[in-house]
Amino acid sequence: MPSSAQRDEAQSSYAASETAQPTATSETDAFQQAILAKLTYDVGTNPAHATDHDWFTATALAVRDRAMDRWMVSKGLNQSVHKHVCYFSLEFLIGRLLSDTLNNLRLTDCARDALAGLGVDLDRIRTMEPDAALGNGGLGRLAACFMESMASLEVPAYGYGIRYEHGLFRQGLSDGWQQELPEDWLVRGNPWEFERSDLVYQVPFGGFVEELAASDGPARSVWKPAETVQAVAFDTPVVGWRGRHVNTLRLWSARAAEPLRLDAFNSGDHVGALADRTRAEAISRVLYPGDETEAGRELRLRQEFFFTSASLQDLLARHTRLHGDLQALPEHAAIQLNDTHPALAVAELMRLLVDERHLSWDEAWAITTRTLNYTNHTLMPEALERWPVSLMERLLPRHLQIIYHINWLHLEPLIRRSADVELIKSVSVIDEDQGRYVRMGHLAFIGAHKVNGVSALHTGLMRQTVFRDLNALYPGRIVNKTNGITFRRWLHQANPQLTQILTQELGEAVLDDPGALIRLERLADDGAFQERFRNQRHAAKVNLARIVAERTGVQIDPNALFDVHIKRIHEYKRQLLNILEAVALYDAMRSEPERNWVPRVKIFAGKAAASYHRAKLIIKLANDVARVINSDPAIAGRLKVVFLPNYNVSLAEAIIPAADLSEQISTAGMEASGTGNMKLALNGALTIGTLDGANIEIRECVGDDNIFIFGMTAEEVGAYHKAGLHRDRAGWSPRFERAINLITAGTFSPDDPRRFDSLAHALSSDDTFMVAADFDSYWATQRRVDELWQDPFAWSRASVLNTSRVGWFSADRTIREYAEEIWKISV
C-alpha cells in the first residue's frame, strides 16, 4: 500500500476538483446534461427517439466518466506503490454494472432524479443492461466479488481474464427440458470497456523447440512456434466503495496476426482466406460451460495459455518499465491463480524469464515461486484438471520441457533418498497411471508460494486427500482463506429496503463496516422491529412472486414459506434430494389433507452443463413434479414448486432478498465453500444445510439454534463409502421408497412413465451422493423448519440474528486475509 505521502501526491489533482462540491440540485442538473450529451454525441439519438437501451447506454457512459479521474489517480498509485495484485481468472461472473457503479460512486439518487427529469425511470433502464456472464458459477462470481472488494479496500489490483464474445448460455425451458441458447452480451456494445488497440501481445502456439549450443555456457532452447495469436486488451474500470479507488479488469480478446489471406481471397477462396482468422479468434469466442467434451478440449487449453501468457507478458512489460530489475518482481507483484485454469503460468513465467529474459533457471524459479499463489476450488476428482501429455507436446512443446524439468528437480531429492514409489507417483506432476497426463493442481502447488482452500473444512480436506503428500513435502504452504461476498452488491444494492432499515437502526457506519451488523442483535427480540423487518421481507417476496408469475405463469402466495435452492445443477448439490422431499411432502399432504400444513413454495433455479445429461434430467423432473403438484386441487395450493429459468446474477439479486429458507444441502465434503449460502443468510434466510464447506463456519457465527443442520458429516460419508453401504438399498425408509415409487410409476410423467428410471436406478445401485442415506434426516429437519415457521416471532428472531451475525463473510475480510498472509500487502 502507498504511504500517505505518496497517496497525497497522487491524489492532489483530484482533490482540486473535489474542493468545489456542487450542490445537490446543480449536481443533478450537471448529470442530466451529461446524460443528454452522451445520448446526442455518443449514442447518436435524441430524447424524442431514444429507446430504453439508448438511455441505458447514455447513462452508463455518463457514470463511467465520473470514475475516470479517480481511475487515473489509482493507476498512478498502482504503478508507484510497493506491490499490486494480479488476479488471474478464466471467469469473472460480473452481472450488471450500472447499479454497482452508481452505488459505489454514491450517485444513485442523483442519477434517478436526473433521469426522472427527462421522463426516464432508472429502475426500468437498468434492466436493459445485459449480465456480463463471463463465468459458470461460484468460482467466477468469487472473482467478481474479489475485484469489487480489492477496489473498495484500495488494494492495487488488475483482474486478468478473457473477453468472451459469448458468455454462459441462456437457459430456456422447452416442455421442462433445458435448452441452451446463445448469449450475446456484446451485440449492442459495451459502454464500460475501453479497447486498448495499442496494447497487444503475441501469444505463440505449436511448432517445435530448437536447442542452440552456446560456446560460452549451457545450450539455450528456442521455441519456434507454428502460429501466433494476438491478444488485445480491453479494460473495464472497477469502482470501489465511495469511489475512493478504481482498479482495472483487463480482458484479452484474440485476434489473428493476419486478418485476411489476400492471395486466397483474390483467387476466389473467400472462406479459406479467413480460415486462420476464424481459428485464432475462436479462442475468445465463447466461455466453456463447465464439463468439457473431448472435441472442445484443445480450444480450452488454447484459452488457458492465451490469457495466461498475455497477462504475464503484460505484467513483465509493466514491471520492466517501472522498476527494471526482474529480480524485484516478487516485491512488486503477487499473482493469484484462480484455480488451475491459469496454472500454465508456472511454466510460462519460467519460459519468459529463462528463454526471453535470459535469467538462470534458479533465479527464474526463485522469482516464479515467490510471485505465484494458487487457490483450489474443488477436490472432486472429475473436476481436477489434467492435460494429456500428447496434447501439451503438440500445442506447447517448450512448456512441456519446462514442466518435465520442474518435475525432475522436485522429484530428484526423493529419488535420491529412495523414497517409496507410491510417494513419488503421488507427488509427481505427471500422472502415468492410465496414459500420461500433466496434473495442473500439482504444477500450481509446486510453483506457488501459498496454496489455499476456500473454507476451513475444504482446506483440511486438501491437506488430507488430494495434496496430502505434497503438504508433507512443503509443510505450511497450504493455508485457508474462507470465501466472502461483497456486501455492496449482495446487501446494499440487491436489498435497498433491508439496507435502509439497517442504516436507520445502526447508522451509516454499517455501510462501511460489516462488523457493525452485530449491533442488530439487541433488536432480534423487539416486536416492533421484527414487524418492520417482516414488512420489508414481504415486499421482496411480493416482487419475487411477480417475477415468478411473469416467467412461469405460476401464482405463488407471498405469505408462504419461500424455500430457495439456487445454484448450478449438480448431483453433489443434491437438487434431487430436495425434489424427493417435495414429492414425499405432496404424498403426505394427499394422505392427510386435513392437517395443518405449512404453506411452502419450493423455488429452484440453476443451469446444468450442456453435456451433463443427468443434471438436465433433474431439471426435467423438477418441472414435471411442479406441473402435477401445482395443479392438484387436493393440496389446496399449500405446496408449490417452481423452476425459474435462466438463473444469473441479476435473477439472484431478486431471489435472495425474498428467501426464507436457504437450501445448502450438498453431500458433506463435496462443496468446497459455497457463497450463495452467505448471501442468503445475510439477507435473513435461515439455512437448511449439511456440515459442508462454509456452512460449518456459518453455523459457528449464527449459532446452532439459528440454522438447520442435518445429514452425515464428511467423515461419515467417507466411512459409508468405504463400507459399500451406498450400494445397498436395504436401508431405504418407507417414506423414501414411496417417493421413488411415485416417480417410477409415472405420476409426474404420464406421457413417459419410464422417463426417470435411470435416476431411481442410480440411487439404488450406487448412491454416490448419499441422497437415500440422508433423506430421513432431511425430512425430519424440514419438519422442524415447519414448526419454527409457525412461530413468527421465533422465526423472525432467528432471521434477524442471521443478518446480524454473518458480517464475517464480507469479502473485505477475505481480501484482508489474502493481503496479509499471502500477498504481503498492507491494507
Active site residues: 377, 567-568, 573, 675, 679
| Shorter beta-carbon distance to ligand 26V: residue 57 or 452 | 452
Torsion of CA 80, 85, 91, 94, to 10 degrees: -60
- Is 142 a binding residue for ligand 26V by CB under 6 A? The answer is yes
CB of 668 to ligand 26V, least distance (A): 13
**For residue 665, which of 701, 645, 693 has the smallest C-alpha distance?**
693
CB of 671 to ligand 26V, least distance (A): 5
Considering only residues 2, 95, 130, 138, which one is a binding residue for ligand 26V as defined by CB under 6 A?
Answer: 138
User: Do β-strands 208-214 and 217-224 pair in parallel, antiparallel, or remain unpaired?
Assistant: antiparallel
Please give the residues from 620 up to 649 whose contact with ligand 26V meets the rule CB under 6 A: none
Please give the residues from 321 up to 360 whose contact with ligand 26V meets the rule CB under 6 A: 339
Q: How far is 657 from 558, CA to CA, in rounded Å?
A: 13
3-class state of residue 256 by DSSP: strand
Identify whether the C-beta of residue 447 lies closer than 8 Å to the C-beta of residue 406. Answer: yes
SS percent in the chain: helix, strand, coil, step 5: 55, 15, 30
Torsion of CA 41, 47, 52, 54, to 10 degrees: -10
Considering only residues 655, 672, 688, 788, which one is a binding residue for ligand 26V as defined by CB under 6 A?
Answer: 672
Please give the residues from 483 up to 512 whose contact with ligand 26V meets the rule CB under 6 A: 483
Total residues at interface with ligand 26V (CB under 6 A): 20
CB of 341 to ligand 26V, least distance (A): 9
- Is 693 a binding residue for ligand 26V by CB under 6 A? The answer is yes
Considering only residues 236, 675, 683, 695, which one is a binding residue for ligand 26V as defined by CB under 6 A?
Answer: 675
Per-residue binding letters, 8-47, with ligand 26V (x by CB under 6 A):
----------------------------------------
| Shorter beta-carbon distance to ligand 26V: residue 378 or 796 | 378
| Shorter beta-carbon distance to ligand 26V: residue 281 or 692 | 692
Considering only residues 674, 684, 689, 807, which one is a binding residue for ligand 26V as defined by CB under 6 A?
Answer: 674
**For residue 653, which of 624, 687, 622, 682 has the smallest C-alpha distance?**
682
Closest residue to bound ligand 26V by CB: 138
CB of 622 to ligand 26V, least distance (A): 20
Identify whether the C-beta of residue 112 lies closer than 8 Å to the C-beta of residue 28. Answer: no
Considering only residues 382, 420, 550, 594, which one is a binding residue for ligand 26V as defined by CB under 6 A?
Answer: 382
- ∠ CA 124-128-131 to the nearest 5 degrees? 125
| Shorter beta-carbon distance to ligand 26V: residue 81 or 668 | 668
- Is 652 a binding residue for ligand 26V by CB under 6 A? The answer is no
Residue 7: what residue type?
R
Strands (E), 5-136: 84-88, 92-95, 132-134
- Is 291 a binding residue for ligand 26V by CB under 6 A? The answer is yes
| Shorter beta-carbon distance to ligand 26V: residue 304 or 339 | 339
| Shorter beta-carbon distance to ligand 26V: residue 138 or 684 | 138
* Segment near ligand 26V (CB under 6 A); pick from 195-203, 347-355, 672-680, 723-731: 672-680
Identify whether the C-beta of residue 165 lies closer than 8 Å to the C-beta of residue 186. Answer: yes
DSSP bridge partners of 663: 688
* H helices, E strands: number in the chain: 34, 24
> What is the Cβ-side half-sphere exposure of residue 639, based on CA atoms within 13 angstroms?
23
- Is 290 a binding residue for ligand 26V by CB under 6 A? The answer is yes
Per-residue binding letters, 362-381, with ligand 26V (x by CB under 6 A):
---------------xx-x-
Neighbours of 555 (CB within 10 A): 12
625-639 in b/e burial notation, b at 16+ Cβ within 10 A? bbbbbbeeeebeebb
CB of 591 to ligand 26V, least distance (A): 38
CB of 290 to ligand 26V, least distance (A): 5
Identify whether the C-beta of residue 376 lies closer than 8 Å to the C-beta of residue 339. Answer: yes
**For residue 86, which of 822, 671, 592 has the smallest C-alpha distance?**
822
CB of 146 to ligand 26V, least distance (A): 10
Distances 604 to 647, 651, 768 between C-alpha atoms, Å: 9, 12, 22
Per-residue binding letters, 444-483, with ligand 26V (x by CB under 6 A):
----------x----------------------------x
**Binding site residues, ligand 26V, CB under 6 A:** 137-139, 142, 290-291, 339, 377-378, 380, 382-383, 454, 483, 671-675, 693
